[in-house]
Copies of this chain bind each other. A is one copy, B any other.
Amino acid sequence: MRYLLKCASFVDSEYESNGRLRTADILVEGDTIRRIADHIEDAPAGETINAERYLVTPGLVNAHGHLAMTLLRGLADGVPLQSWLEDYMFPRERLLTGDDVYVGTQLCLAEGILSGTTTFADMYFFEDDVARAIEEAGVKANLSTGTASLGDEAGKLQRAEDFVVRCNNTAGGRIKASFGPHAPYTTTPEFIGAMFARAQQLGVVVQFHLHETRGEVAAYAEKYGCSPIACYAERGYFDAPPRLVAAHCVHMTQRDIEILERAGASIALNVQSNLKLGSGVADYRSLLASGINLAVGTDGAASNDNVDMLEEVRVLGFMMKGSTMEPAEVSNNRLLSMATLGGARALGFDDTGVIREGAKADLVFWDTDDVSFCPHNDVVSHLLWSANSRAVDAVMVDGQFVLRHHELLTIDIDRVRFEAVQRAHRLAAL
């Protein structure tokens, strides 16, 4: 399919320095942004779209989450992480079936697409069912099986590896697979080291929770004499590391940050989850000043409680400015970049996250006729600080629309809502 977008306004790579949106024609051919120019002749085949009313951005990339947890949202609003996990989530997760995960993932993807997300991260269970939902929905994802190391470590490692080999680079490259050792407090260092090594050999990502709560870091210090990050460094796991996506990273020392930077790790920040569960506030000044690739994730909707990436990056911006008491701490363009390019880099989708010739056509069409974009003083500012998902008119992934004029094209939302309510009811009743 060919789409010619006439007069699209979009953020290009020079926006940060010149503060001006570029307005041009964009030709999408197949899955790729083929050409960007001031004037492109109408394509002989394909569709020409008047894009004047839209702000076009790269698709948002949700760099950390547990997709099917949408089924569990609203079950436990006032409890801290450990109780939330052990008293509310784990007992229900033991009851989950593959079909539950499939439906919960579909619900999550619908919500994500409606709010402008084209690429997702997942760390959960029944990942083959998750992959099925991703493939059908037409979006992109990097999927991992969340793995704790308590018992049968060899078997778990093998099954995780089997999934990676089976699933990586499927769905025409839209699905990547990764290792997902859950967290320092649910794994041994040796298990982490083994997964790092296998991931490095296979050339895939490791996504894991890291330094999320103060208690988790303190418990490690008591047991191992250092933080999880320092412990892994001491054992050499970061010497030739795979591509790492460390989620949360709320409680880190300057030394922890330097270790992750040297390891070339990405951090997926989850500010809303950390606030709502009372986990704390990261040292944003040090993170922004480091060379670490920063990405943004919503975490699972059971803690957050949605997968709205625009809301997530807005609250992240509030916290970067507010916790440092420095309103200039982060620029609009950097925030937008973290929610797009930063996530794409973290998850290994190197040909997306930016609007340029040759990149994959993963695009969001924001309707600037929405009152939240009025009076058009600075539409990028209005996007980041005023608009919400109501303004998402269309979403394109690999050159195919998955949402158009607010209508989901790849998910039967009425069926999914009906099934999700039934399944959630069964799980909630526990």
Contacts and interface: CB of A to CB of B under 8 A. Distances in A.
Interface of A: 70-75, 77-80, 84, 107, 110-111, 114, 272, 274-281, 301, 304-306, 308, 311, 315, 317-319, 321-329, 331-332, 369, 371-372, 374-379, 381-382, 385-390, 413, 417, 420-421, 423-425, 428
A326 B278 contact: yes
Contacts of A279: 325
Q: Which one of A280, A281, A322, A423 has the highest number of Cβ atoms from chain B below 10 Å of its Cβ?
A: A322
A93 to B, nearest CB: 15
A53 to B, nearest CB: 12
12 contacts: A70-B374, A70-B375, A73-B381, A73-B382, A74-B381, A79-B327, A274-B322, A279-B325, A281-B323, A301-B386, A375-B417, A376-B421
A275 to B, nearest CB: 3
A329 B324 CA distance: 23
Contacts of A274: 322
A374 B275 contact: no
A interface, by DSSP: helix, strand, loop or mixed?
Answer: helix
A308 B278 CA distance: 24
B77 A377 contact: no
Contacts of A79: 327-328
A371 B413 contact: yes
Contacts of A332: 77
Contacts of A387: 306
B110 A371 contact: yes
A421 B369 CA distance: 11
Given A110-B371, A322-B275, A421-B374, A382 B305 contact: yes
A78 B374 contact: no
Contacts of A371: 107, 110-111, 114, 413, 417
A276 B321 contact: yes
A375 B278 contact: no
A77 B322 contact: no
